[in-house]
Chains A and B, each alone.
Chain A
Amino acid sequence: MLNASIKAFLLYHKLSIKINMLNTFTLTEALSQLKLKKISLDELYTDIRTSVKKNEEYNIYLTMNEQMEQDANKLLQEKLMGVPIAVKDNFLTKGLRTTASSTLLEQFVPQFDATVIKNLKKAGGVILGKTNMDAWAHGSSTETSQFGRTLNPRNTDYLPGGSSGGSAAAVAADMCIAAIGSETAGSIRQPAAWCGTVGLKPTYGRVSRYGVVAMASSTDSPGPITKTVEDAALLLNCIAGHDVHDSTSSSQTSPDFTQAINKSVKGMKIGIAYMELTGFEEAKKLFETQVKVFEELGAEVEFVKAMDPQYAISTYTVIQRAEVSSNLGRYDGIRYGNDRSFFGAEAKRRIMLGTFTLSKGYSEQYYLEAQKVRSLFIQDFNRLFTQYDVLISLTSPGFAKKIGASEGSGMFGELEDKLIEASSIAGLPGINVPCYHDPNTNLYLGMNIIAPMWHEEKIITVADAFEKSTKWNSWRQV
C-alpha cells in the first residue's frame, strides 16, 4: 500500500495530472471531469478494468458486465454520463447473471431488470459488475456467501461486513466509482462502516424493491454505497421515486437530495443514542471525541435514552426470519435455479426458524408479538424526533472483525447490527460516515445518523458537514 503522504500528494494532483488512477475518482469528481472533457469514458473504463484485476485478491465481483463499454458514449448527456456502478448481486439485471451469492442461483440469468437498475440505466449509469454478498443477504460479514468470502480492502485479515460487503469493498478498493447495496437491518450501513465508506439506507418505501431478491419485505431498502456523502445524495436522486410495480413504494415526490449538501448544521438538535450500553467501551470513547465536531459546528448535542436495542434484536430476528422463510418458498428449482438442497447452512437455519415462528400455536407469541414491539420502537423514535432533528450513534460496536468471526454463530448478524436494527424496523432513513481511522490496522469506525421517515435531507446535511469538517474520509485528504 502506498504510504499516506505519497497518496495524499497523488490525490491532490490527480485532478490535473492524468495518471492511471481515474478509478479513484469520486462520482462527483468523475462527472465533473467528464463534463469538462478532461477525461474520456474510455480512459475511465480502462482504469476501472485495470483495478478490477485485483478481484482475485479480494473476491469482490461474482460477475462482470463484459458489455459495459457498449454504447457508453451515447450516455454522456445523461445525469450519470456512463459512469460504471457496482451492483450488489441481489438486484436482478437483465441478461447478466444474478446469484444472491447462492449456488442455488448459480446459473440464473434474469429476463428483466430491477426497477433500481432500470432507473440507473435511464440516468445514464452503466452496470460494472455484480458484487459478492452474504448469501440471500443473510448476514453481516459476507462470509456466508457460497462463492467465498470477500476480504476487507483496508486490511485483508479482516471482514468487510455485510450483507452488502462486496459493494462496500468495491468502493473502498476503488474498484468502482460508486455502488448500490441493500439494507434489511444494517446491510448497507455496517459494511460501509467496516470498509470506511459512506452508506445510505433510505426511508423504507423511498426506493423500489421490485426486482430485488426479497429478504424481509417489510424492511428491505435499496440504497447507495459511495465514497462521499455528496455521491450518495447524487446516486439516491437517480434511484429514488414511486414505482407502480411496488405497492409499498411511496408516491411522495422525491426531492433533489443534493440540495442538502453544503448546508449548515447550526441550531440543529442532535441526540446521541445508546451510550449507556456496555461491552464496547473503546469504540464509545473514540466516538465521543468525534461528537464534539457537531458542537463546534453550532449544533446542540445531548445524550438521549432510546428504547433498549436488545428488544430490537429479538423483534427484528422474528420478523425477518418469518418473512425470509416465506420469501424463499419460491425457490423450488422448477422455473429457475437449483433445488432446495442447494441452500447453505445459514439459509436453512433462517428458513426453519422463520417457519417455526409462523407455525400453528406459535405465531401469536412470536410473529404477532414482534410486530407489537415494533410499534413500541416506532413510538419511541417519534417521541425522540419531537425534540431532536437527528439521532447519532456508532454504526457498529467496534471496528471490522477478523476473518472467521461469523462462523459458528447462529446470530452473528443480528448481534453485530444491534445499534442500527431499531431504525431499520421502524423504516427510518440512516447514513454511515467514517468517524475514526486506526493507522495501525487501517480500519475504520463508522457513525450512524438517523432521522424521521422521509427526511433523508437531514441525515445528508449532518453527514456531509461531519465529513467535510474531519479527516476521516480517505477520498478527501486535502
Chain B
Amino acid sequence: MRKLICGMEIHAELKTTSKLFCSCKNDPFHAPQPNIYTCPVCLGMPGGLPVINKKAVEWTIKLGLALHCKINLFSKFDRKHYFYPDLPKGYQISQYDLPFCYDGVLETEAGPVRIRRIHLEEDTAKLQHKVVDGEKVSLIDFNRSSVPLVEIVTDPDIHTPEHAKAYAKELRRMLRFLDIADCDMDQGGMRLEANVSMQDGVEVDLNHLPQYKVELKNINSFRFLEKAIQYEMKRQTEELDSGQIPIQETRGWNDAKGQTYSQRIKEDAEDYRYFPDPDLPPLQFTETHINTWKSELPELPKAVQTRWQEEFGVENRFSDLFVEERAVANWAEELFTVAKASKVDTNKLANAVVNRKVQWSTEMKPANVIADYQELTQVSAVDPKILTQVISQILAENPLVVEQYRTGKTQVIGFFIGQVSKNIGQKIDPQIVSALLMKQLS
C-alpha cells in the first residue's frame, strides 16, 4: 500500500504596470516586438541597479494575508546565482531565508493545503528555439526579464491528483479574485510544478518523507497536472515494487504519449550561493502596515459565496462562475440585490444566467438582464387539453423527427418544444411541454 506525497510550487506573474526592479512596461505577452521593453537594469547592462516596485511587494503580502500566512516584518532580497542565457545578470534577485509570507493555508474543495512560503522574485527572459541559416539556435527576448513573479510553495499535503488540481484551481481563483495576476496558463502567466513521491504504508507520515522526489515541470493545464501525477504515481509504484528507488529528476508531461518523460537529472541541489543583494536595502514593515493591507483585502470568493447563499439563496454551483473574478462578482452582487428587491427568485435567476439562458455581461445593467429573464420565464397558462392536441398534431406532422427521437436523439425535444410554442403563439413553460411530449412519444 503506497500513498502519494505531493507538494506544489506555483509561479504567477503579477500584473503590475511596470517590472519588479525597473520602470519598463510589464507587458511581455502583448508586446508587438521582442526586446522593446528593456533598459540597463532588466537587460543586465554594466552599471544597472535594481529599484523595488512597491506595488509588487504589497500584492505579495496581500496574497499571503488572504492565505492566512504570517508576514516577516523584516525581509530582504537575495541574489540566487546560476548561468543561463535567459538570466542577464548571472543571478536572479529572489528571496532566500526571509520570504515575505510563510505558514499559511489554502482551503480547497478537496481539503486544505498548507502554504509553506510565498516570496517575490524576478522572471527570466523568454527563450525560443529555432533553426536559423541551418544552425540550431535559441532566440532571446528580454521583454519578460524582471517581470514580478510570486512563488507559492506548499507543504507536501497533497495526497491525490484531484487534490492537486483543486489546489491549483483554487489558487488561480484567489490570484484572479485579488486582481493581482491574470494567470493565463498558455502564456506562462501561471506555471505549475509538483514534487511527487510515493510513501509506503497506509497513514501519511510527514516526519519520515521518502528519500527521493520527482519534480514535474512545464505543465500548463490543470488537466495535464492531474494526468501527470496519476501517471507518476503508477510509474513510481512500479519501480518501488521492483525494488528500485526512482531517480531524483525533473520530468515533463507528454500528453500525446500519455507519459511523463525525463528532462534533467537532479544531483544534489544546485549551489546558488545566496547572499543578500547589496544593491537593495532591506524591508521593514510595521504591524500598522500589515493591518492596513489586511483591511484593504476584498471579501474573498468563499466568503462571498457563503454570504450569497445566506442572503440570496444562491447555490454554490451557480455562484462559482461569478467569483472567478472580482469585477464579475461585483456585478453579480448588484444583480442579486436588485433581483431580491424586485422579488425575483435569485437562485433561478443565477441558474438562467450561468446557463446562458439570458444574455449577460458586466457591461449590461443588471436591471435589463432581470427584465430579459422575466420575459423569458413569463409563462402563460395553457389549457392542457389544447396543449395535448397541439402536441399530437406536431408529432404527426414530423414523423422523421419522431423517428430520430426513437433512435436516441433525445435532443430533438427542443425542436418540438419550439414548434409547439410557435403553433400556440406564446411562451409556455418548457418543462410542462417536455413532460407531455415525452409521454406521447413513449
* A interface residue numbers (CB < 8 A to B): 92, 98, 100, 105, 108, 110, 112, 114, 209-214, 216-218, 244-248, 322-323, 326, 328-332, 334-336, 355, 358-360, 363, 367
Contacts and interface: CB of A to CB of B under 8 A. Distances in A.
Centre residue among B271, B280, B281 by max chain A CB count within 10 A: B271
Given A247-B279, A322-B275, A358-B275, A330 B49 contact: no
A329 B91 contact: yes
Given A326-B91, A329-B83, A334-B140, A247 B43 contact: no
Contacts of B40: 112, 210-211
A244 B51 contact: yes
B83 A114 contact: no
B44 interface: yes
Interface string B85-102: 100111100000000000
A92 B45 CA distance: 10
B47 A210 contact: yes
B interface, over-half SS: loop
22 contacts: A92-B47, A112-B40, A209-B47, A209-B49, A210-B47, A213-B47, A214-B47, A216-B278, A217-B279, A247-B279, A323-B278, A326-B81, A326-B273, A329-B81, A329-B83, A329-B90, A330-B44, A330-B88, A332-B83, A335-B45, A360-B271, A360-B273
B79 interface: yes
Contacts of A216: 278
Contact of B280 (A98, A247, A322): A247
B252 interface: no
B201 interface: no
Contacts of A367: 275
The 4 closest A-B pairs by CB, nearest first: A329-B90, A358-B273, A211-B47, A217-B278
Nearest to B281: A247
B140 A359 contact: no
Interface of B: 40, 43-52, 79, 81, 83, 85, 88-91, 140, 271, 273-275, 278-281
Contact of B273 (A105, A110, A359): A359
Contacts of B49: 209-210, 245-248
Contacts of B83: 329, 332
Contacts of A213: 46-47
B36 to A, nearest CB: 14
A335 B43 contact: yes
Contact of A245 (B51, B271, B273): B51
B217 to A, nearest CB: 23
Nearest to A337: B46
Nearest to A357: B273
A326 B275 contact: yes
Centre residue among B46, B49, B281 by max chain A CB count within 10 A: B46
Given A247-B52, A248-B279, A358-B275, A330 B47 contact: no
Given A214-B47, A247-B50, A332 B90 contact: yes
Contacts of A105: 46
Nearest to B40: A112
B89 A329 contact: yes
A354 to B, nearest CB: 9
Centre residue among A211, A212, A330, A360 by max chain B CB count within 10 A: A330
Nearest to A323: B278
Given A247-B51, A247-B279, A323-B278, A332 B46 contact: no
Given A247-B50, A322-B275, 12 more contacts: A105-B46, A209-B47, A211-B40, A211-B47, A212-B47, A213-B47, A247-B279, A248-B278, A329-B81, A330-B88, A330-B90, A331-B90
A100 B45 CA distance: 13
Centre residue among B81, B83, B275 by max chain A CB count within 10 A: B275
A347 to B, nearest CB: 14
A363 B44 CA distance: 25
B281 A114 contact: no
Contact of B79 (A212, A218, A326, A331): A326
A331 B89 CA distance: 8
Given A247-B281, A367-B275, A214 B46 contact: yes
Contacts of A248: 49, 278-279, 281
A27 B72 CA distance: 52
B278 A218 contact: yes
A262 to B, nearest CB: 36
Nearest to B82: A329
Contact of B271 (A332, A334, A336, A359): A359
B273 A355 contact: yes
A283 to B, nearest CB: 34
A99 to B, nearest CB: 10
Contacts of B43: 335
A82 to B, nearest CB: 25
A110 B45 contact: yes
Nearest to B277: A217
B45 A336 contact: yes
Nearest to A100: B46
Centre residue among B47, B48, B88, B281 by max chain A CB count within 10 A: B47
A363 B275 contact: yes
A322 B91 CA distance: 13
Contacts of B48: 210
Nearest to A212: B47
